[in-house]
Structure 1
Amino acid sequence: MTPAAPGRLGPATPETAAQDPATTSTPPTSTSPTAGGLWRGGRGFLLVALLVVGVAVAGVLLGGSGGPGRPLDPADASLSGGKGLARLLQARGVRVERVTSVAEAGTLAGQAGPEGSTLLLSETFPLDEDEAKRLAALPSDLLVVGVRDHLGLLAPGIAPRREARARSREPRCGLPAAERAGSAYTGGVALTAPPGSIGCYPADGVPTLVSHSGAGRTVTVAGDGQFMTNLRLAEDGNAALAENLAGGRPTLIWLTPPEAAAQAGGGKASLYDLVPEGIRWALIQVILAVLLLALWRSRRLGPVVAERLPVVVRAAETVEGRARLYRARRARDRAAAALRAGFTDRVTPRLGLPSGTGPDALVNAIAERTGQAASHVGAALYGPPPVDEAGLTALAEYMDIVERQVGKS
């Protein structure tokens, strides 16, 4: 029995395995995963996971409360807030009162005892001219930080002169609060100092902090308030300067802008609006990590490498082994199908026909080329399978004859 043209490689038969000593001397190889293999395969994923977790934790720690910061607010713990200064003043026994309106500030200033109070006003508070006049008339000491609008009403004689880069500066003045603090992070705006005032922390000879005492009160103007924020409080002498300026009286009235009121209307927030900002950033980080991991893993793919087989079996041995299997199982139908499929694949291109040619066209083309009867060719290619081995052998011989005739014609 001779089937159609065999493939190049095939499974080793018992006879070939017995003849080849390599099959008996090769020890079995375990395919179970080992600890080293699991570590090498998973360490990349573990590293990316640890990196994502570390970045997320650092973002939470550095982000403070996680919401938008309120600059120089004694109740805000973000980097731009002033909660750190408020805690330091409270530890010194200073009562810190957070107010959000000029009326509240006036009420608390009037209730202060004989030792008086200090009013802290920053540039974040929206101030109009009437409110500036009311604050200027209060008996409290006034600490103005970064304010430019209506500064002439709050501190007569003190006015912005030019911009000054904020950086660490030496006091270079006789103000006790500045002398005790030493260098501080000041700047923002350089100020004019009226006669009788003290100018400190100069920028190119022009002070960035001016203090003037008179009429039973002290008015101090700082061109920038970064030295009072949580971010800068631990640098240089910033904490000492902020405590000395804001803690000179038993009560500190800290004027901060009111929180934004909820917008009117019955519109509903979308699902995206309800997701916290930190979760959004974490999701973006995870997506980037997955993309980087995919890029990293894709670069490991290289060209196809031919694998060296442990046993090389000749094509003739493969054909004989498969034929014996067909014979043992009496699979004459499969053997005939293999013969016919191989014959068709080899003869079709020789006849100049496309690969998808139908049975009738193929049979007619073979009959015309070889002179064989179309009925005989059709029975050989598409007839029922042989009933015995003799019929299968006759089919193979007939197809071999027809194939040689097609090749010669």
Structure 2
Amino acid sequence: MSTTSEAVGVHSGDTSTPRPDRRRRIAAWIAIALVLIGVGTAGSLLAGIGQWTQRDVLDPESAGANGSRALVQILGEHGIDVVVVRDRAAAENALAGGPATLALTDAPALSDEALETVTDAAADVVVLDPRSRTLRVVLGGGIAQGFNTGGAARPDCDVRAAVRAGSVAPGALFSPEEGMQACYPVDDGWGLLSAPHGSGTAVAVDARELFTNGNLARNGNAALAVNLLGGSPTLVWYMPGLADSDLAAGDRTLGELTPPWVSPVIVLLLVAALAAAIWRGRRFGPLVSERLPVTVRGSETAEGRARLYAEARDPLHAADQLRIGALGRLARLLGLGAAASADEIADAAASRSGADRGTVHGVLITELPSTDADLLSLSSRLRALENAVRAAVRPERTPE
């Protein structure tokens, strides 16, 4: 008698209780929204951490390794009044009170005119984070030359502050213009530039490598910092911010730079993408099973699959299917759990049947049939192994 199985069709249709499924979908969308919000929040926090870390560099009120609070305290012990300002108006007011030294960090947001206005009000200027533009505007020339990869260098110049400080290990190197004084030669560059500035001087030095809290105690860094920044009773330490920028009026936004049709096209594409997502993702209800008036014999299913394997000319795949079935049946005969591996099943089968372990492993695992004849031989050997194990496990049921 042949075994039959009923084919079961699946279609999408409404059910009598759609509420649980709808609640699951709503919960899934809420979970997705919460995940997106969490990712956005984490990204914002990480970006904020990066901004605060960058802001901490050369900050006179920061006690971190990249701050300069230690230098401010040393200057205060020497009687220098350090005024920390973070906007241009406050810097100009502080410099208008009398002769003062201006310590200036990088100021990319200021125009050349604004930079000149601030520096001209100071008796002396020390550029702590020089760039080529700052060198041109404040010192009248000089360009960035590279970075020091060696050790400490001697001043080798006539600048009094550098001569009194002795050797330091400069960071950024610069190339001087004619009429400038240069100190701390390394290869083809110099670690400090000095040029006349009104009745005083303007100095450029890489304070990131010399004047921060983590580097101040090395070589003659502290002495050089005090000599350069302590020339006047008052030191105005200016940390320019984006609010000081006078370049915004002349800058064009991204919307102004792009053609007028770009923004509507982007919006249209977003709407089309959303519509496509809704169209492709919609469902009329959960999947339900429906019995179809078709009966397929089990023998026909097996025969059809066998023909597919034969047409594919893939005896190895067919052998895998035979072995999978044999391993499952042997595991049940031997009382092994579902987690038992093929090697464990083969060892147990060899031990129970008394067959050679290598032979059993070859039949169940290692042998690779390459022809139909090999596949037929493997099938017979699998059947013989199963019969041997069954005879050992259930001898009363062994057929005569």
Q: State the TM bucket, normalised to the shorter chain.
A: 0.3 to 0.5
Query: What is the TM-score when the length of structure 1 is the normalising length?
Result: 0.45
> Whose Rg is larger?
1
